[in-house]
Amino acid sequence: MEKHIKDFRYEKSMSVGSFVEKLGSIGYQAIHVGKAAEIIKRMKKENAIIILTFTSNMVTSGLRGLFAQLIEMKFVDAVITTAGSIEEDMMKAKGLKFLEGTFDADDLKLGKQGINRIGNIFVPNETYSSFEDSAGPILEQIYQKRKTWVVSDFLRELGNMMDDKNSFIRQAAKNGIPIFCPAITDGALGMQIYFFRQKHPDFILDAAGDMHHLFTTTLDANKTGAIILGGGVAKHHAILANLLRGGLDYAVYMTTAHAYAGSLSGATTQEAKSWGKIKGDADAITVMGDVTITFPLVMCKVLDDLQS
């Protein structure tokens, strides 16, 4: 059946769902935004095991609240992310500051002022120092319960210590959604774990143990789908976990990274099919664009349609 490009026209008080539906007929990446919404709806309707992955810069942004909400709704079955996401979630749960800034700020001046820049978001040094002050006592509490932890169990314990509805680790702990973080030693959290182990060398975080949990989840699934925001280790961990079952049945990538450098972050859903990480006949799409724009648009459309 032929699909025609349609002219976009403004309508007063247009809903987000209607807006995204209209985007799907404009052309270029707007079509991909519309297709992404349809694929995610099919994942859910087909009862696929859905894995959500994201990088830490997205938790730096306000997307953190949407991640927490989707986990609270049990829209996803597992999360894969990085250590930076965990630590910044903890910082925000404690009410520490993340400020609106600019991309073209004077970084030398910011450095002298004790401000760290993440794109156009500013994070004062005090935010990190407050996190560092609280990390030791938190790790001590967990250590007193047990000396060796599979990482996903460790993160569940951390989540149970948070008291913030927009904390995705809190919502994951509360709703039984596992969080996998294969690079747990990266970032400020990793440094605090390192420092803690200088005093307690018998404190062990078992990343390999989580491979069993994640691979069992995908191997036992009738169908699997992934919503992959950004790239890096979180992205690869999700698609690797589906290799042994012949690949994902559904996949939506959202990224600003391009394929032409040969990086994993820029690799498209098509490229993943050559590895068998996404099935050849899978419903899959790559959306190029800023995830802070594309993901909320897509999910508003998905949730509106599924609840109607």
Cβ contact 264:231 at 8 Å: yes
Owner of token pair 């859910």: 44
E strand or H helix that includes residue 70: helix 63-72
Q: Select from 197, 198, 230, 182 the least CA-distant residue to 83.
A: 182
For the question of residue 92 being annotated catalytic, the response is no
Sign of CA dihedral 223, 302, 295, 80: negative
Q: Select from 17, 13, 15 the least CA-distant residue to 304.
A: 17
Q: Select from 40, 41, 42, 10 the least CA-distant residue to 23.
A: 10
Of 35, 277, 279, 301, the catalytic one is 277
Query: What is the Cα–Cα distance from 141 to 149, expressed in whole angstroms?
Result: 13
Catalytic residue list: 277
